[in-house]
Structure 1
Amino acid sequence: MTERIGILAGWEQSFPQAFIDRCNKVPGIHAEFAKIGGTPERFVSPYRVLVDRISQEVKHYRFYLKAAALGGAYVINDPFWWSADDKFFGYSLASRLGVATPRTVMLPQKDYIPAIDKSRSLRNLEYPLNWEAIVDYVKFPAILKPADGGGWKDVSVVRTPAELLRAYNDSNLNVMTLQEFIDFDDYARCICIGRERVLTIQYDPKQIGPTGLRGRYIFRDQERWLPQDQHDRIVNDALRLNHALGYDMNSVEFAIKDGVPYAIDFTNPAPDMHIEHLGQRFFDTVTDWMVEFCVKAAKEGRTIRDRYAWSKMAAEVDPIRWDRST
């Protein structure tokens, strides 16, 4: 019996094609770019596993993946939790897990769509904001950034109350977070696969990468890069975050200051896996890990429904310990 694996991707080329080619070398596996058309309300998924690299940009795909999960597919990443997550939730979750995070405050939107009547629809908002208390908690310098954003879009470094108010007034419809600025000594980006494997790579978010985007991997002898205790803590914290989030494919970034790795960015369920950025060595590693994980999930017949059946039982037995992991 042949198990089918589908991948949804947009403009990226290197990872999706390499993933398909390597999956198809495994006996009993057929991988392809998933084909999606009109979808009935109830169907059996033609794919045992679906890898999602694009639904954050295509709403139709996200809706389909939720239905496919009900139809028996194992979707990577879980479309239900991916839809629910945001950056600020991630910081709240990490702090409860005991993972070091910068001090962070979520701020109300500066502006709203025309349908919102500010005099009637926003009665629950504190006004004016207690800026003094907010700044006293976070301290300067700080980072003002969207609570659900990424890719350094609409991010500002603010060092004074005047700079903060100016940047906040320009934030328009975004829900923003004000976060402690970690003037890091070192920085790590981890590519995490299957909630079991973590590839830790030195990274510089300040540099411009080979394709013109912000951020560059630093290629060196990784075994001699970090002290063992820091490396072990980063790997352990990355695994804890991915188990709590239920992500099987993610990148987790740590800013290291005075020996402490602070989790900075870790809700990236379609992480950078381009060969142009990772280089051949790291690209081969994460691609092979993804192939192994997806093939195993397909052959074992895993489904998203199994995860929620387990979670429901766990919640009934011990609601204090229940989380999203399986």
Structure 2
Amino acid sequence: MANQKHLIGLLLGAEEDWPTALEALIAGLGPITGPGGTRHEITSERVTIEPFNLRDPVRQDLVVDRLAYWYYHPREWLKKAALMDDLYLLNSPFTFQSMEKHSAYVALMRMGMRVPETVLVPYKNPVDNVRWAYTAAKYNQSFDLDAIAEGLGYPLFMKPFDGGGWRGVSSVKDREALHAAYDESGEMLMHLQESVADFEVFARALTIGPETMVMKFQPDQPMHNRYAVAHDFLDAETGKEAITISQTVNAFFRWEFNSCEMLVKDGIVYPIDYANACPDVAVTSLHYYFPWAMKALLRWSAYCVVTERKPRFQVDSDPWFAIADDKELDYKSKLAAYQSLADDYFETDRYLEFVDTSLGHVDELVLDWIDSDAFRRMLTSTIQQTYPPHEWDKFEGHFGGLMDMWIKDERIVQGKASAPVEVAAESVSASSLPADGVREE
């Protein structure tokens, strides 16, 4: 029987590093055996933007989208392809509006997550719309911004309800800073959100399909230092909660490639940002964790096309809110129930079996490529596109050293090198499914 062929499309903006990596790994994947002994061949291409007839069929079986959140033309092509051609999408364009943070805050609050208190305030400057001017004059109630801020407590954060990439985020320490930030917000619609003072850990979880990597994040550092290489900064219970929160928001909104930010204090996890249409996967950001992201994206994409996983674009809140509203369940019981729903959505058991039986060679494939001259050329190119020439040597050493550390650790995990017991234990944690940063107890 001839191999079944599957095409993965990459809908891209300015990124070159991770697409180059994923394309190389797909090219090296080779034929894989699916359920029932079927044979499959996967290739990739970059999607171009051009006029399209709404009845035109599409070539791709799955598209990884990094563009349509910001641009209408590719977004409408994705919608057409999903509705007309059953194209599998990472992520669904039908819930993009929920990726403006506001809906995600509300949903997780309803589900009992410890989202900090948040208030939406009207525009500082009315939007440029003649109808809005009339409506605002007639119906907008005056409000006391100072009273709202005092109710939340200083310091607090002001941030756009549809923010991304830290755009428009202000740390507000007093009344003067509050009014300055509000004046600068202009036509942006803003949240005021209480802060979690003296938090112990800032964690960022990247979730691709049913795989989650929880990383220690240092937002005050330059981008190249924000992801700290740390394998045991959360205890097992807190790490499990971080994974469940991340996978819950993804399964609820039908997102399959998303990141979630959380603060941890006194064993309590506070989700603060968990809606990112294009989560950061740049090699100069993730560095040590970049190979894991490429593995997870490769594995999940292969699983979806080979098993012909049916895309589900519409949110079904009923089963989630049934758990949320069950007064007989405490917080831990609700988390367990949410995780079960997430596992059902992502077909986690079936996925892990597929990875074990059909993609067992991916770990070695990724290790060999990260240890290749091709990867080093890609890394050098990315450094030279990102940093000024006088910093090239510094960052070659910085990122090269981090990737060499990953290669060393991965060789230990794969049994290709030996190490002291304590090092080997950390390395196993770093590569395990589904999370890093979790300390077993």
Query: Aligned to 1:218, which of 189, 203, 228?
Result: 228
C-alpha separation between the residues in 1 aligned to 2:277 and 2:248? 15
Query: Aligned to 1:190, which of 184, 205, 215?
Result: 205
Query: Aligned to 2:236, which of 223, 228, 237?
Result: 228
Q: Deviations over 1:135-186 (max 9, x none)?
A: 3442211101111012222111112233212321221110000000123221
Task: Name which one, 1 or 2, has greater alpha-carbon Rg.
Answer: 2
> How far did residue 83 of structure 1 move?
3.8
Mapped pair 1:199 → 2:213: yes
The structure with more strand, counted as a fraction of residues: 1
Query: Aligned to 1:115, which of 97, 117, 129?
Result: 129
Q: Per the alignment, do residues 240 and 319 of structure 1 end up closer, same or farther by CA in structure 2, a change over 3 Å counting?
A: closer
Q: Per the alignment, do residues 230 and 121 of structure 1 end up closer, same or farther by CA in structure 2, a change over 3 Å counting?
A: same
Query: Aligned to 1:296, which of 291, 295, 303?
Result: 303
Kindly indicate whether the alpha-carbon contact (under 8 Å) linking 1:73 and 1:303 is maintained by their aligned counterparts in 2.
Answer: no
Q: Look up the match of 2:160.
A: 146
Letter in 1 for 2:272: I
Instruction: Spell out the pairing of 1:256-271 with structure 2 (5 A cutoff).
Output: 256-271=264-279
Q: Mean alpha-carbon deviation: is it higher for 142-151 or for 229-238?
A: 229-238
Q: Look up the match of 1:238.
A: 246
Instruction: Spell out the pairing of 1:1-326 with structure 2 (5 A cutoff).
Output: 1-26=4-29, 27=31, 28-70=41-83, 71-116=85-130, 120-122=134-136, 125-131=139-145, 133-183=147-197, 184-194=199-209, 196-210=210-224, 216-220=226-230, 222=231, 224-279=232-287, 281-304=288-311, 306-308=312-314, 321=322, 326=345
C-alpha separation between the residues in 1 aligned to 2:271 and 2:321? 24
| TM-score, length basis structure 1 | 0.88
C-alpha separation between the residues in 1 aligned to 2:179 and 2:284? 38
C-alpha separation between the residues in 2 aligned to 1:134 and 1:148? 20
C-alpha separation between the residues in 2 aligned to 1:189 and 1:320? 25
C-alpha separation between the residues in 2 aligned to 1:41 and 1:72? 13
Q: Per the alignment, do residues 124 and 186 of structure 1 end up closer, same or farther by CA in structure 2, a change over 3 Å counting?
A: farther
Secondary structure of the corresponding residue to residue 28 of structure 2: coil
Letter in 2 for 1:190: A
Kindly indicate whether the alpha-carbon contact (under 8 Å) linking 1:50 and 1:73 is maintained by their aligned counterparts in 2.
Answer: yes
Secondary structure of the corresponding residue to residue 253 of structure 1: strand
Q: Per the alignment, do residues 125 and 118 of structure 1 end up closer, same or farther by CA in structure 2, a change over 3 Å counting?
A: same
Secondary structure of the corresponding residue to residue 264 of structure 1: strand
> How far did residue 302 of structure 1 move?
3.0
> How far did residue 234 of structure 1 move?
0.9
> How far did residue 45 of structure 1 move?
2.1
C-alpha separation between the residues in 2 aligned to 1:278 and 1:133? 41
Kindly indicate whether the alpha-carbon contact (under 8 Å) linking 1:44 and 1:72 is maintained by their aligned counterparts in 2.
Answer: no
Kindly indicate whether the alpha-carbon contact (under 8 Å) linking 1:103 and 1:137 is maintained by their aligned counterparts in 2.
Answer: no
C-alpha separation between the residues in 2 aligned to 1:166 and 1:125? 26
User: Which residues of structure 2 form unaligned runs of 5+?
Assistant: 32-40, 324-337, 346-441
Q: How many residues are treated as equivalent by the alignment?
A: 312
C-alpha separation between the residues in 1 aligned to 2:115 and 2:282? 27
C-alpha separation between the residues in 1 aligned to 2:320 and 2:235? 38
Letter in 1 for 2:297: M
> How far did residue 43 of structure 1 move?
2.8
Kindly indicate whether the alpha-carbon contact (under 8 Å) linking 1:15 and 1:273 is maintained by their aligned counterparts in 2.
Answer: yes
Identity between Structure 1 and Structure 2 (%): 26
Q: Deviations over 1:276-313 (max 9, x none)?
A: 1111x411111111111111111122343x555xx67x
Q: Look up the match of 2:422.
A: none
Secondary structure of the corresponding residue to residue 301 of structure 1: coil
Q: Mean alpha-carbon deviation: is it higher for 83-92 or for 69-78?
A: 83-92
Q: Deviations over 1:120-142 (max 9, x none)?
A: 22257442114355234422111
| TM-score, length basis structure 2 | 0.66
C-alpha separation between the residues in 2 aligned to 1:119 and 1:254? 38
Kindly indicate whether the alpha-carbon contact (under 8 Å) linking 2:94 and 2:313 is maintained by their aligned counterparts in 1.
Answer: no
Secondary structure of the corresponding residue to residue 69 of structure 1: helix
Q: Per the alignment, do residues 89 and 276 of structure 1 end up closer, same or farther by CA in structure 2, a change over 3 Å counting?
A: same
Letter in 2 for 1:67: K
Alignment RMSD (CA, Å): 2.4
The structure with more helix, counted as a fraction of residues: 2
Show structure 1 runs of 4+ deviating over 6 A.
322-325
Secondary structure of the corresponding residue to residue 128 of structure 2: coil
C-alpha separation between the residues in 2 aligned to 1:146 and 1:276? 26
User: Which residues of structure 1 form unaligned runs of 5+?
Assistant: none
Q: Per the alignment, do residues 162 and 293 of structure 1 end up closer, same or farther by CA in structure 2, a change over 3 Å counting?
A: same
Secondary structure of the corresponding residue to residue 241 of structure 1: helix
C-alpha separation between the residues in 2 aligned to 1:319 and 1:100? 16
